[in-house]
Structure 1
Amino acid sequence: MTEDYTLKLQVLMYKVGINSFRKLSELTGTSDRTIRKLRSGELHTLRWQTLVKISSTLQITVNELLDTFGAQSSSNDRQQLELLQQEYQHLQQQLQQQRETLQTEFQYQSLQTLESLLTYLPAAKYAATNNPNFPASKIFPLLQSIDRLLAQWHVTVLGEIGTQIAYDPHCHQLIEGTANAGELVAVRYCGYRQGDKLIFRSKVSN
């Protein structure tokens, strides 16, 4: 009869803020079956890479994981696992740094595209606040930078405000009146799509 290590596992999970076995499975990239084996102390049936992922996620060493769940292994095996864990954590750090670098570069390029908007919109808002007669049309050229950014991201606008289109519940959100698929409705607010992925449905009325 195998020993139940569920409580010990839950204690380790609690310390790192993991509140369910499903979440542990997601964070470690393992299956529910793997987590069940961990709970029953069947570490000898798991791959070394899996043990490294689990121990790193629980923020303990591989040796601590083995000792906690009663696993027997040679000194050489434990040393190899420790080296694997160190390499795994190093790769994780590199990936995190790469993600941060890419995100920073993405944000910088986006801000560069929005330069004219960021530069002149505050001045336009100031002018409009202090002059009720300030024409709103003067702000329109500033919005061209948003159009450029959307084009770079391959985002297309769904519907043109004021026009009538055939109602499609997959692409349109009816905010007033009733309509069946295919009936003409008026576009009240534009929707957006990025490639084949719908971001926002157009808001329409009948």
Structure 2
Amino acid sequence: MSPSEASLQRVMQRANISSQRALAEKANVSRWQVQQLRQGNIDAMRLSVLKKMAMALDCSLADLLQTFDPARSENVSDAEAGASVTAEVHPENKVTSDATSEAALLRQEYTRLEKRLEQQSHSLRHQFQTDALQVLESWLTYWPTAAKAAMERDDFDAKKLLPLVKPVDRLVASWGVTVMGRVGEQLAYDPQQHQLTRGTANAGDPVRISHVGYRHGESLLQRVKVVPLNPD
């Protein structure tokens, strides 16, 4: 039995509710909502549904959240505590206090949902970039070499194509993709950063870059392709 299922049974016993169906009927919510609570998915449930279930279970919303979602309950407890003090000092203002409490709870719920949407947006944006980079992988690998050949041969009309791909360069740069090395550059072989296209080499041996590599933020997207300067 999961912790959330055990917690639900415990609070139902305290409220003398015999079954999950009975809880759904008493709270006037769907059995699916009760299943969500039983499975521990309280973070995905609407505040209005949780309030109905708390009333049916003869406990406060804060107590219900404390049982199933302690982190979320802290904000709700603060809001309810403030309203409770106001009601005790000025009983005639109970209606106003209830409205204030409701507004505070709604603000807390809005903030929580806003943060969740922001996190989901960031995750989707990163996934989109990853998918696009996979599509561009072949171009990223071979274009710098082709561009170098076009620039070094005066009779190679492909130079006219270079301006056409600048938007792609700007696109990947805006995603935080940085180029590693320059085609033709000579440097010491680093097995962590370089990939031999032929021959063998030990760490520190001189090699020449045949195809540049790429980083995406802090992650290595593609190692630099190199060839030994002194092949065996």
Q: TM-score, normalised by structure 1?
A: 0.43
Whichever of the two has the greater Rg, that structure is 2
